[in-house]
A and B are shown apart, each in its own frame.
Chain A
Amino acid sequence: MSDVPAETRPGRSGVLGLGAGLVAPATSLVVIALMFLGCDLLIPGFVSLGNVMRIAELAGFLGVVAIGETLVILTGGIDLSIAWVVTGAGCVFTAVSGGATSMLVPALAAALAVGFVAGLANGLGIARLGISPIVMTLGMNNIMQGLTLLYTNGTPTGGTPPVIKTLATGYAGPVPVLVLAWAALAAVVIVALRLGRGGRKLLGVGENPLVSRLSGIRNERVITAAYLCSGLAAALTGVLYAGFSGASFLGMGDQFVLPAIAAVVLGGTSIFGGSGGYGGTIIGAFFLTVLTTILAVVNLSAGVRDIVYGLVIVAALLLNRLSMRAAQ
């Protein structure tokens, strides 16, 4: 009843709320630069065009799946089903195509259909039935796992048509084709979010669903669309990654869950939704890919790598939170 402002989330300033939100990606950029420098000292010649491009290529896979995660987190939700949507779509793709170019289109359609159905189910469950995103997507992850196991009978088969292999591993001059494709996709996503009607609605729904609804927005449609995109993005990543490895394998999607979500959050998008964008996610994806690369190069055991990776993300989250508090 008074005009004391409610204490919600840390406030932001600047155009379209990006002022303080730039702190996180800016910090990430600085850290990336530092990491590159550090590596160059340890391993002279580390910072070469070839290496940077290779890192960009790896970051691309993460970047594509993180498109969906960005949209979903902007609505205030989360998608924990990407692991087995990636794997499922990858397995379907290789099985249907069998490596033949003639089967490229049906295989692609089938793989994207996997992502479409999973994403749509997620969206409907979350937006229309009000199921918590954690439960819905976690459950969907399991369902996709079961369906994939049944479909492949435990052993994925098939191969990838040359076109996809080129897309995933080829080079156009010094630049990997995948990076070019990613750049094109990124441009579309960024423009859609910043300038598109849908992007505005997404930001509104994420920041305050009640205000959004009372402003005449159909929240359920926006949310369902976000999860649909996430499913499609994950499916696309499955196809691309199958192209990269030449075959699909069970569990190929597991490596994307934590990095995708971390890339979004470390890129400045609030985990509560309503602010942020894909530009930050791109930086976050780079940051995490550089981290993974360094960990691989330094020759640590798998276990130690996991520990360091997790700790770095925790540290980055802390830094993020503290710097946001300071920016208020």
Chain B
Amino acid sequence: MTDQEKDPVVHSSLSWHLVIWSVLLVLSMGWALWDEVYGIRPWKGYQTRFVTLYRNFLKTVQPAEAETEKKIKASSEYQRLDREMLAAEKSVAQRVGEIDREVNQTLVPRQLTLNDAFQIVRSEIGALTYQTEVASSEGGKQSLRKEIDDIKKRVAAVRLPNADGSTASQDYTYGQMEKDLDTWKSRKAQLLQQRVALLKPAAELRAQRDKYLSDRIADVSTETLAGIERTLDTFETGIRQIHIKDVDLVDRCESCHLGTREPVVLTKAAMGGEAVYTSHPRLELLEVHDPERFGCTPCHGGNGVATSSITKGHGRHKYWLWPMHYRENFEAGCQQCHSGEIVTEMADTLNAGRELFRLRGCMGCHRYEGFDREPEELTSVHQEIRQLQTQKAEWEREAGFSIQKADRVSDNAEAQRLYAHADNLKVRSSGVDAKIEQLDMRARNLIQEIKKVGPSLKEVRMKLRKEWLPVWVENPNHWRPGTKMPTFRLDQDEVRAISAFIWQSGLTGKAVQHPQGNAERGREAFETRGCMACHSMGEGDQKQGGTFAANLSRVGEKVNYNYLVRWIHNPRERTLPYDPIEKRDLTEEDYKKQGLPFVFDEEHSRSPYGNHELVVQQMTPMPSLRLSIEESRDIATYLMTRKQDNAAYAEAAYLDDPALKARGQFLVRHYGCAGCHEIAGLEEEQRIGTELTKEGSKPLERLDFALLGHDAHGEGWYNHKGFFENKLKDPAVYDKGKEKESKLERLKMPNFNLSKQEVDAVTTFLLGSVESTLPARYHFKPTDQRQDIAEGWWVVRKYNCMGCHQMRVGQSTVFMTLPRYQDPDWKEQVPPILIGEGARVDPDWLMRFLKNPAMHESTVDRNGVRQYLKARMPTFHFSDGELRKLVRFFEALSAQAQPYIAQSLEPLSESERLMARQLFSSEGAPCLKCHATGDPGHDRIATAPNFLLAKERLKPGWTRRWMIDPAMMAPGTAMPSGLFQRDGERWIFAGPTPPNFRTYTKDHVDLLVRYMFQFTPEELGRLRASAGSGAGR
């Protein structure tokens, strides 16, 4: 039969098919097995490589470490300690040996042997005792008790071991066993105690020796390295996870990132170029946020549970809602819990983002919990006051009813109850008064605290050159590169309408004519008084000064001289007070109608129409420098010279065209200008933007990528980060390609012209603004002084204190960057460093100083403390609340107890006063050379504060520490260090002392502190006289 004739059903062979497919089946099974063990568990490979790389790295480190250790161990001091330790050990070695022998060879084996026998009898007795307890009949109980007695009397032979290994039999009853065991136990305890006492000197010496070694090794000791090697030898491949039960958090990040918490700092280079094994770059952060309590993903984002691939573990997967933060935004993780702060330690990018959000006026349109909260708080305070008043009226009415009823009832007890009820209500409503009073004060504070990002537009007519206005509105960044004001998308018509509305809504106040000042003096004042801590001057590379406020390089082109003088003299001066209840500016007419003088300032801030607070100051953070009117004119004259030579502005007569006003107002409202500016008629405008407090956790689908959604998918930026970055870079970007019926429907957000770095900072801030997935106790809501610090930073940032003062180590001030202050002669002119200020000054004094830095009622054109400083500590017109926050802030930064209770000092005896005076004026301690004395001739060259201030200003403890070593507290201070030296328990003056000091046995520093804190103006006179005579000698 040929093949074709055979029945294929019967004769065709399937062998090859079967073989091939069986092989494929085996292969696929093998593949499945490999996938199960390694393919979906890539961390296993990571762990194997980690062990190899780590071991190699340790090999390179060890010799160097061993070398240093060898050197230290060879030092005579170490050798001496080592010898002493060994000697101490040796001296007690014999006795220790005896104890060890007795305990280990006699007591313990005997105890164990006897204990076995004892346990058997005891359990037998225990069981019988239980039966006795539950036996029903008295007869049964009796017989059981007898049985127990028999057992107790029973004698058992126990073979006890001897020290030499032999055993000896001994007869024991139950009672004897118990007694022997107790005796041996106490004997053992006694011996072990003896042993510890014997070894104590040796142990102490050993600790001393080891400390000597560890103190001198910067990194890790060879012992630690050896320890690490041992752990590597026993390294077990397996998931490393942090499980926090109550949060339901499982983070397995360390299954691959094995080096994160190693005691040795691992760098990428050290680990063969693999970044995955590096140590956490900021281990000090992990000390605050212990990974065992916080995990990894709450800060970093990512999918802590996923171990099957890098992409999934890092959460860079479209279905994972919390992807790991990218490098430039990693501080976003901080914001989740530190949402109430404006400054978070060690989170510079995030802080920059928050600051931009505040400073650039984002909060003018977008509500964000905590930012610019004063207007909202004010509303709620007003509401609360109204509620309390209603409540009070109700209680009073009820009290009246109660009395009426009581008068009528015949029952005496009932009447008394009703009278008591009425009394109770009256007392309670009087308590309400106290509450209302507090709220009223809070309202007053809040009105004072409300600040606007931009200048008041009510002043434009007095302040500005008319032609300049439309140029500015059209593109502020063009006229003044880097300005805070963003560029809106406006066409010419809109610019004209907006400018016309703003111009026409401006107030016309009295224009005081000022004569010209001296521009040269003005320039000097501008550069030294402190203006440049906030303002900058010069364009491009020439730019100097702070970025907190405007660049004034072209200010001469836009402002009116007379207004500028007024502004510099007192920026808070308002043309008209604003009444938030009447919702308009009050004029002289209003006051006249009520028969009141037209006076409004901090002391006269009540409305003529009722008892509520008015806005009596400009809503600007710019403080008053308390300059004389002449100096203000000088500075203004100088600023008027700041202009471009060829600046030309087109005629703008249309600004007075009333036809444009209505449309202008509509546009100003539409674009939300009132978010940053005070504008007549629009004072109570609401924010026009979306709230951003939780923007980072808004579902991605709710972010409108518009027509770019598809591109975003393709290009890989379809995520929150991509949305924010593109929006910030170009706020109009999501209008691309959209057909909008009118311009007004386009996206309104203006362009802030942010740099890449700024975009990153704000993006970080927004990415961190999420609905936290962690329970509330993880959030940073401290109840201790850290709360004061967090609150204080808001005030400090609001008024840019860091422009002049260094508040924390490592922070730079604007002053430090100005070229003039690089000159050694000018170093002393830098405003004081405030690190440790809370420990230095008396809080009550600080409060007074912040309220009025001139420290004088009438003469205000001066510094209250450092009269030698050209820079002026300005008057910020802080509200009481802000003052309180600032003082608490400084106290908290220095961990000072609150409230402050001044330390009482021992009074000075007459002889001590004389001694101190002599020391103060001696050649060795020419204190008065630098410290001011109140003598105008001397104070011109004095560079340190007057001693008269010390009593009220300083804290004695600080003063003492300061005198001993000022350089340590403030590096670079002019105050000399090393004035005192240690003499046993006390400090004595290091230089030559006046003769009467020889018999003085007390502490010299203490003497001087007491002298300073009991200083009087009369004593200053005596001291000056004595110093004068001393100098003459």
A binds B: no
